[in-house]
Amino acid sequence: MDSLTPSRRFSRRDFVQTAVGSGFAAAVLPVSAQTIITDTEGLTAGPVTVPVGDFKMPAYRAQPMGKTHLPVVLVVSEVFGVHEHIADMARRFAKQGYLAIAPELFVRQGDAKAPVEISKLLSEIIDKVPDEQVMRDLDASVAWAKGNGGDTSRLGITGFCWGGRITWLFDAHNPSVKAAVAWYGRLVGDSTPLTPKNPVDLAGQLHGPVLGLYGGADQGIPPDTIEKMKAALANGSAAAKKSEFVVYPDTPHAFNADYRPSYRKQAAEDGWKRCLAWFKANGVA
- Measure the N-to-C terminal CA separation of the chain; round to a whole number of Å: 17
For residues 1 and 273, give the distance between their C-alpha atoms in angstroms, rounded to a whole number. 8
For residues 228 and 238, give the distance between their C-alpha atoms in angstroms, rounded to a whole number. 18
Measure the CA angle with vertex 223, ends 264 and 78; round to 5°.
50
Would residue 275 show up in a list of annotated catalytic residues for this protein?
A: no
Packing angle of the helix pair 162-173, 131-146 (nearest 10 deg)? 70
Would residue 69 show up in a list of annotated catalytic residues for this protein?
A: no
Rg (CA), the chain: 17
User: Which one from 83, 218, 258, 275 is the annotated catalytic residue?
Assistant: 218
Q: What's at 269, amino acid-wise?
A: E
User: Which one from 85, 137, 161, 258 is the annotated catalytic residue?
Assistant: 161
Would residue 250 show up in a list of annotated catalytic residues for this protein?
A: no
Q: Which long-range contacts (CB under 8 A, 24 or more apart) does 186-189 make?
A: 186/162, 186/220, 186/221, 186/225, 187/221, 187/225, 187/226, 187/228, 187/229, 188/225, 188/228, 188/229
For residues 94 and 97, give the distance between their C-alpha atoms in angstroms, rounded to a whole number. 5
Burial of 31 (0-12, 13-18, 19+ CB in 10 A): buried
Active site residues: 161, 218, 253
